[in-house]
């Protein structure tokens, strides 16, 4: 008997269309990942016909997105292959990593060169609009600094990508009940910054931004990737097998600091629940335990991870013991996440990573002991390899991705050089 399948509405056709900027977007994104590339290499990597690759490369050259690179020395007979690369001055990314206290901002060109950077203390505990006004002024200052040393007479395309210390609502793109910066809940950060900067603004959770940077550094063999931050709080960013940030239905995916752990007991967390891993294993909790043991100097100018790192450098065994206890609690949560998500790589990011191996060793031992064998078969658990610049690198990657989307790409214009 002949039957009919139910109506299958899954979008099996990938996004994209016949407009030239769609195919050009795909080619430009490949060049962003591959660096200086010949047309023949693009044909091999994309599977597109040579005529189509050639047309897209010409379109991107004409619109000032690409530049002809130096010809590579050729081995053997024939002419050297002409290569193309992204044109650095075609577009700039305002890459920003906001923290509850310090904020770092940089202007990064399309090829990843940091043209200017600065670090300031924004008044984040006051009205968000005031802090955003200061951030806008800081970015305008950096923009003017870069413009004064540029040979280009036309303005580059610009986007801003902000790593923010809260989950971001998937629907409104506003901060979602931040425990660190409660006054920012639901604030229209994107709208206000777009008005100040006059360019598209992306707001993304800081842990997710760091996870994207790790994935960008380690490549597709590291995917899916789980990046776990142990600092003022405990948070995570998840990059799926396709290299996209996993945000969940509302944007709260990765909010792992509020998963209870068995040693959490009745400890009250800032979120109102009891026994959350953040309340007992983050840096403030470790310092509180050390303070109770009488080995924290309250007169010290250091605070947070810097203070804890200082105590660890002095090799006080009690400080090491406290880190090991926290590592076990974090490991318990990471193990549960590995069972649920089966990542290929777990990256631990912490201000303690340069002074102690105990945090990593503790997490690793619990993860390997408590996670199902199939989930640990190919699993690598390691410290982040580029911790200080992760936020800026991730924001740049997200900004570059946005610039090379078809909607943005069609706004590029051939540059005029003075
Ligand atoms: Zn909590």
CA 232 – ligand 1 centroid, Å: 13
pLDDT of residue 13: 44
- Residue 190 to residues 32, 120, 159, 306, Cα–Cα distance (Å): 26, 20, 11, 32
Q: What is the whole-number distance in angstroms between the Cα of residue 330 and the centre of ligand 1?
A: 14
* pLDDT exceeds cutoff 90 at 39: yes
Q: Is the per-residue pLDDT at 49 higher than 70?
A: yes
Question: In angstroms, what is the span from residue 235 Cα to ligand 1's centroid?
Answer: 11
Mean pLDDT confidence for 323-330:
97
Ligand 1 center–CA 366 separation, angstroms? 21
Distance from the CA of 255 to the center of ligand 1, in angstroms? 9
Distance (angstroms) between ligand 1 centre and the Cα of 272 equals 6
Please give the sequence-ordered ranges of beta strands (E in DSSP) within 208-283, or none if there are none.
Answer: 225-230, 234-239
Q: Calculate how far, in angstroms, residue 266's C-alpha sits from the geometric centre of ligand 1.
A: 11
How much is the average pLDDT of 171-181?
Answer: 89
Q: Which of 131-145, 183-197, 257-271, 297-311 has the lowest mean pLDDT?
A: 297-311
Residues around ligand 1, an ion, CB closer than 5 A: 258, 269, 271, 273, 276
176, two tokens: 């979602």
- Cα(278) to centroid(ligand 1), Å: 6
Give me the percent of the chain exceeding a pLDDT of 90.
73
C-alpha 129/C-alpha 29 separation (Å) is 35
The predicted pLDDT at position 414 comes to 72
Cα–ligand 1 centroid distance for 380 (angstroms): 28
User: Stretch 56-66: mean pLDDT, rounded?
Assistant: 93
Q: Which domains are seen in the chain, by residue range?
A: 20-71+80-86 (1.10.10.10), 89-199+393-409 (3.30.420.40), 219-384 (3.30.420.40)
118 and 141 Cβ atoms separated by less than 8 Å: yes
- Tokens in use for 58? 């010409």
Taking the centre of ligand 1 as the mean of its atom positions, its distance from the CA of residue 349, in whole angstroms, is: 20
Q: What's the mean pLDDT in 122-126?
A: 88
Per residue in 341-385, pLDDT (tens digit) is 999 999 999 989 999 999 999 999 999 999 999 999 999 999 998
> What are 87-96's pLDDT values in tens digits?
999 999 999 9
User: Which residues does 297 contact at the CB level (< 8 Å), separation at least 6?
Assistant: none
Q: Are 348 and 326 in contact (CB under 8 A)?
A: no
- pLDDT of 74 > 70? The answer is no
Report how far ligand 1's centroid is from the alpha carbon of 17 (Å).
45
Q: Determine if the pTM surpasses 0.85.
A: yes
Ligand 1 centroid–CA 198 distance in Å is 37
Residue range 134-152: average pLDDT? 91
Residue 396 has pLDDT above 70, yes or no: yes
* pLDDT higher than 80, residue 242: yes
Centre of ligand 1 from the C-alpha of residue 18, in Å: 48
pLDDT of 410 above 60:
yes
């Amino acid at each position: 008997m002949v039957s009919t399948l139910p109506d299958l509405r899954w979008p099996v056709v990938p996004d994209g269309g016949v407009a030239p900027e769609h195919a050009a977007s795909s080619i430009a994104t490949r060049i962003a990942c591959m660096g200086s590339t010949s047309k023949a290499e693009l044909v091999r990597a994309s599977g597109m016909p040579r005529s189509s690759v050639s047309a897209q490369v010409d379109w991107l050259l004409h619109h000032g997105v690409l530049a002809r690179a130096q010809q590579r020395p050729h081995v053997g007979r024939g002419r050297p292959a002409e290569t193309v690369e992204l044109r650095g001055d075609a577009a700039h990314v305002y890459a920003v990593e906001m923290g509850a206290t310090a904020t770092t901002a940089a202007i990064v060109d399309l090829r990843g060169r940091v043209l200017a950077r600065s670090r300031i203390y924004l008044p984040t505990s006051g009205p968000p609009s005031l802090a955003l006004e200061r951030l806008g002024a800081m970015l305008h200052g950096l923009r003017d600094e870069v413009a004064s040393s540029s040979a280009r007479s036309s303005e580059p395309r610009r986007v801003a990508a902000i790593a923010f210390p809260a989950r971001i609502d998937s629907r409104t793109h506003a901060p979602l009940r931040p425990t660190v910066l409660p006054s920012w809940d639901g604030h229209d950060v994107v709208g206000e910054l777009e008005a100040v900067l006059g360019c598209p603004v992306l707001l993304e959770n800081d842990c997710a931004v760091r996870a994207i940077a790790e994935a960008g550094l380690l490549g597709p063999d590291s995917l899916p990737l789980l990046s776990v931050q142990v600092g003022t709080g405990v948070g995570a960013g998840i990059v799926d097998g396709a290299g996209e940030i996993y945000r969940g239905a509302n944007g709260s995916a990765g909010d792992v600091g509020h998963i209870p752990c068995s040693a959490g007991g009745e400890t009250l967390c800032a979120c109102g629940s009891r026994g959350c891993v953040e309340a007992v294993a983050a840096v403030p909790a470790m310092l509180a335990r050390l303070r109770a043991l009488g080995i924290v100097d309250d007169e010290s100018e250091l605070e947070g991870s810097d203070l804890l790192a200082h105590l660890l450098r002095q090799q006080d065994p009690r400080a090491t013991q406290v880190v090991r206890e926290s590592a076990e609690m974090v490991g318990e949560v990471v193990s549960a996440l590995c069972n649920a998500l089966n990542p290929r790589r777990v990256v631990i990011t912490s201000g303690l990573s340069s002074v102690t191996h105990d945090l990593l060793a503790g997490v690793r031992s619990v993860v390997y002991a408590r996670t199902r064998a199939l989930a640990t078969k190919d699993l690598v658990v390691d410290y982040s390899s580029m911790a200080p610049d992760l936020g800026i690198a991730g924001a740049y990657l997200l900004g570059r991705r946005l610039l090379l989307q078809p909607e943005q790409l069609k706004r590029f214009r051939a540059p005029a050089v003075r």
